[in-house]
Structure 1
């Protein structure tokens, strides 16, 4: 048996132009790859299409498990696999995720309608997701797509992931050769060599396998951009089931997207409310701190007022009996000094003011011509010397009184603090 000819190899120049165009897009339609890795992504895809012309770079929509959809690059086509000396073509889709090439791509086996994924395969799960050691040990930037495909070809050659699903032929086969009928049901129109008993592309060797009843599988979650045409007509029941499943998936995805938008709006509102509450909390804390500081200042002022009030009360009690009898007599006797320093300060101040009055009277006498200039200067010089002495003595007395008053206030303040 000779398999049908495969698709024409793609034009390398067109592929490079396509990759340059999609990777240079900006705005909402830009691919979600980092700018510093786009050139490396282009190099990887050009290298894999040169080494494996059956793989073609495309852009398609990838739907995550949480319902998010993103436009990504993929390498769609077949990779060769050698099994028991016969070469087969395995349809795969290699998705370059948004974190590629720092993280490995996502590889799916893309079976045609005549193919079935092998149960309990070591490296392919029922949905077609491929997990091989090369993907698990992906190292940036040394790992690349060409080595990945080589590794996939070697792993699939040891344990093929697909086998052909036999289906009963509704019309009798006029050809008595059973191999011809078998090749009709195991070869797809798109040029992929599927295998039931592993019918290869370099021979017609058939290995017997147990008959497997027809089974239907829902479409794989890695997109719907496949271009595999089928020879056999679709069963109406299968079409109805597939359409129903697709409709349910679309409804679920739509509900999830709407619910996600609603939750995002609610979360955004909560974040805004949290920011407002945080700002108000800062304002309240600032106001509370100002109130505490003001309270401490008022308490200090209250202590000073109370202390001064006690001082005035004490002075009033001490001098209450002394002032009652002196109000009717001479006004000079109304004031009495309580200590020698006060009496000395009073005498110095009185003498200073008296000398000030005498100097003023001498000025008037000089202007009137009552005294001569020599007598005026002599008297002013003598009075000024005495006035300087009285002022210096008063300054010293004030300094001593200030020290005594500060010491007295300190002792009273310590009394209030301790109490």
Structure 2
């Protein structure tokens, strides 16, 4: 059995890590730099194995971009420590598109003649299933592919594929009761938070609705008062109209009574309605009437000429005749006016 510690090396060349996105050129560059060190910084691999290690890790990074090659300090079960290469990251499970396992594959000093050491790391709240056939409580993995490792027929890519298939059939982790409780607490907190947000939003909506209803109530009260005042004015106007109607009815009765008494009397001539007050007023009134009649005749001639009903020569002859008569009437009125004025004074 092996145990491992995961802190990185203190040497900048061996502590370099690669981005999680697939970058084949960067992987080759990192592996070339890590495996080319000599002296105290050299990795404990034989010269013959370095190219194989380079190929295996590059192929693994290409097939599984979530596994990145890096260097770290590994502690054996006997307490010896060594700086080794490892592939660290996650591998997907075949049973779910979102489920994955965190894994570290350490290439020991005798690699590739001996199999790598594989360890699983578990998120908080999970642990290895009791008596799991492939993983011990420390997270060390022992699968048939590792136990029957034969180089050059075995490699890291097939190892990871085998691990994905085996762990998809029998997942190695189990959720602890405290994790279940924490998960329930988190879900409950999420539900409570969602309910609180919903209640807060509903409260704001109801508050705005209540304010709108209060404004509507205020407007309705104001309009009710206006309608009441309008009804009062209409009632007063109705009473006034009824009084005026009664007066009109009374006047109609009076007029009907008068008409009933006087409708058989002979109708007086309109010319006899206006009587001169003295002997000089009659000829003056007659002259004024003749003057106005002549004015009406000339107006009628103008309209007839404008409409084309009267020839021009007839129009001119009639206007001269009427104007002559009007002149005489106006002259007589001018002579009669002073005596009439003296009589009135």
TM-score, normalized by length of structure 1?
A: 0.39
**Greater RCO, CA 8 A, separation 6+:** 1
